[in-house]
């Protein structure tokens, strides 16, 4: 079951939101994400959060459109994004895409990357998507990447990572990168597909475009 969470970071393009909504079984707007969707005349299945940062007319609009609203106390130990992710997990989603999870607040962006780690540990296949990036988190294993519209493929160590690459511009074998090194940035897939094997440690793998 595919879940889609739309948070209140930078709004991705309407085309990307619609494409992802079409593919999803359950669409949740976290707090300010509700405003974005309603302004585009798009309807999530659920809206979740403390709603302390959006005008009340949006909550009225949501009720009119039969969007189910789950309201939480603003004094809480979880971010709105985490509340949304927990909700999607309760709905048995085993694949989750996060939109609106990047943007100008770097603390929120890094917090959302932490959520990717947590989801991986819970065996939920998840990613953060915006118009320039697709971000996933991986531990030990072999991963296949098909050619896409994203030119670059980068490996960013979370602590320390040892990995090999095949069919890429820079092929490496057992390369060790520590958390203070940038050598995994801006590799490229050469043909129709490429492989990365993480032998030790963990990393964010980011596919991106300028």
Considering only CA atoms, give the Rg of the chain.
Answer: 18
Q: Which long-range contacts (CB under 8 A, 24 or more apart) does 10-14 make?
A: 10/100, 10/102, 10/103, 10/104, 10/130, 11/36, 11/100, 12/99, 12/100, 12/129, 12/130, 12/131, 13/131, 14/40
Nearer Cβ to a second copy, position 24 or 154?
154
Q: Environment class of residue 176 by beta-carbon count within 10 Å: exposed (0-12), middle (13-18) or buried (19+)?
A: middle
Nearer Cβ to a second copy, position 35 or 108?
108
* Whole-number Å distance between alpha carbons of 99 and 76: 22
Helices (H), 53-144: 56-64, 80-90, 106-121
Q: How many residues does the chain have?
A: 210
Nearer Cβ to a second copy, position 56 or 104?
104
The residues binding a second copy (CB under 8 A) are 77-79, 81-82, 102, 104-112, 114-115, 117-118, 121, 130-133, 135, 152, 154, 156-159, 179-183, 185-186, 204, 206, 208, 210
Q: CB 148 → a second copy: shortest distance, Å?
A: 15
Residue whose pair of structure tokens reads 């095949």 in the numeric block: 166
Nearer Cβ to a second copy, position 62 or 128?
128
> 34 with 96: CB under 8 angstroms?
no
């Amino acid at each position: 079951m595919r879940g889609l969470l739309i948070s209140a970071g930078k709004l991705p393009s309407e085309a990307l939101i619609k494409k992802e909504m079409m593919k999803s079984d359950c669409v949740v707007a976290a707090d300010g994400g509700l405003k974005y969707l309603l302004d585009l005349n798009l309807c999530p299945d659920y809206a979740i959060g403390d709603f302390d940062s959006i005008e009340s007319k949006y909550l009225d609009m949501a009720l009119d459109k039969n969007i189910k609203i789950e309201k939480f106390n603003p004094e809480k130990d979880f971010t709105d994004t985490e509340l949304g992710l927990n909700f999607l997990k309760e709905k048995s989603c085993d694949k989750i895409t996060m939109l609106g999870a990047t943007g100008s607040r770097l603390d929120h962006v890094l917090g959302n990357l932490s959520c990717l780690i947590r989801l991986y540990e819970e065996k939920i296949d998840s990613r953060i998507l915006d118009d320039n990036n697709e971000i996933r988190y991986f531990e030990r294993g072999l991963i296949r990447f098909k050619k896409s519209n994203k030119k670059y493929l980068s490996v960013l160590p979370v602590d320390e990572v040892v990995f090999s690459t095949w069919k890429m511009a820079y092929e490496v074998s057992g390369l060790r990168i520590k958390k203070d090194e940038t050598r995994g940035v801006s590799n490229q897939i050469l043909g129709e597909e490429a492989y990365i094997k993480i032998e030790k440690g963990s990393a964010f793998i980011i596919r991106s475009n300028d």
